[in-house]
Amino acid sequence: MTSEVYNVKFNKEETVELFKRKAYESLKEENRRPISNHKFKEESRKKSKTLIDLIEASTTLKEENFLKIKNLITNTVIGAKKRNVTDCKRTPKTPRDNCDPEVIGSINRAFEDSLNIYPSYHLTDLAKIYQSAKEFYFEAAKRTKEPSKWKEAIETKIDSLKEQINLITIHERNEKLNKEEKSKLIKILEMPTSY
């Protein structure tokens, strides 16, 4: 069946055997060598996820995210109606390329649902709600960064340099070094000086 689809799609007339051979030749391992028959059969026996499995997993994650967002937004809508227009935080502009469409879709759905429950009839309320939606998207889409480890890296480098200086000063005073210290000292003395 796959060979038939291939022939129709690419306007070819290849036999099933020729198609199988081409498919086998195109399968390569990470190191660009052909996959062995044993590995090929082993891979084909593994249960692969069907399209339905992938869709179900995707939709459950989307729904979980939507429910989290909806609970937060319902409180946001109620709070937005009570605050002044001038109390809104300014949010930076987000280019369309950097927007997360799933989060925006979830926020839109959640605001629609919450506005059906708590309708708003004034433009000022709608402006407040719109601004709170922007704030909410900014908070939801904000990526959490790991704290930089530059300070620890610099401190370890300083400690290693201090240790090297201590070994060199011990050597200059002609004090006795043990084997480990001697090997470290030899490595230090053989290193090119780049600093």
CA distances from 27 to 16, 22, 34 (A): 17, 9, 6
Same-domain check for residues 184 and 157: yes
Nearest 5 degrees, angle CA 171-CA 174-CA 178? Answer: 65
96 and 169 belong to one structural domain: no
**Domain co-membership, 135 together with 155:** no
> What average pLDDT does range 51-79 have in this prediction?
67
Counted domains in the chain:
3
Six-digit token string for 178: 């043990």
- Phi, psi of 34, deg, nearest 5: -65, 145
At 21-38, the pLDDT tens digits run 777 666 665 556 666 666
Say yes or no: 100 and 26 in one domain: no
Question: Which of 121, 141, 161 lies at the terminal end of a domain, its last residue?
Answer: 141
Angle at 108 between CA 107 and CA 113, to 5 degrees: 95
CA distance 143 to 139: 9
CA distance 91 to 160: 44
Do 78 and 136 sit in the same domain of this protein?
yes
Domain that holds residue 25: 2-45
The pTM is what?
A: 0.40
pLDDT 10s digits, 165-174: 888 888 888 8
- Judge if 88 and 130 occupy the same domain: yes
Answer whether residue 50 is part of any domain.
no
